[in-house]
Amino acid sequence: MTSRAPRIAAWLALLVPAFMLGGALISQYVFGLYPCEMCYWQRWPHWVALVLGGVAVLSVRRVQGLAVGMASLAAVAIAISGLIGGFHAGVEYGWWDGVTSCASTISAGTTTDDVLNSIMAAPLVRCDTAPWSMFGISLAGYNFLLSLAGAAAIYLLLRRKKPGIIAE
């Protein structure tokens, strides 16, 4: 009997970044929580992990070694996003200084006045204030917790040698 762990790990490598990105995009476009610069930094590794996880899921039945490699790389990308989220949460809680730039959403206009009006009307989002929190944990804090838990789960699943046993 072969282990189902690589298949589960491949699916986790796809679903963890999909849910994290989905939550970020829903919070932005449905609830109006505009992302700051560090929020965007957290998304990039998840996009990479999403692609790697997709390759892992598609190849898990055909080329298991490729699937394991892609899921491993996806776990690394997910962990990187979580670490960026941890840094961002620390900035929000005032534990250390963050970046000095802020993010803003502007739309390009046809004239200089249109561009200037768009810049002036765009929301300015600070990296050192959490726009939303639940139980005292910000979105960046949840990214830290959930991403590192997801990356650890993928890693542990990939280390299984036999069903039910984790390699030492």
pLDDT at 168 over 50: no
For residue 120 the two structure tokens come to 């002036």
Return the pLDDT at 1: 30
CB 43 within 8 A of CB 103: no
Of the candidates 152, 148, 142, the one whose C-alpha atom is nearest the C-alpha of residue 9 is 152
CB within 8 Å of 142: residues ≥ 6 apart: 85, 134
Listed by start position, the domains of the chain span 5-166
Residue 161 phi/psi, 5-degree rounding, is -95, -40
Owner of token pair 């730039």: 101
Whether domain 5-166 has CATH 1.20.1550: the reply is yes
Torsion of CA 100, 105, 107, 108, to 10 degrees: 10
Task: Give CA–CA dist 20/66, Å, rounded.
Answer: 24
Torsion of CA 166, 82, 44, 21, to 10 degrees: 90
Return the pLDDT at 128: 61
State if pTM tops 0.95.
no
| Predicted confidence band of residue 13 (pLDDT cuts 50, 70, 90) | very high
Return the pLDDT at 152: 94
What percent of the chain lies above the pLDDT cut of 90?
A: 30
For residue 62 the two structure tokens come to 């055909």
| Predicted confidence band of residue 96 (pLDDT cuts 50, 70, 90) | confident
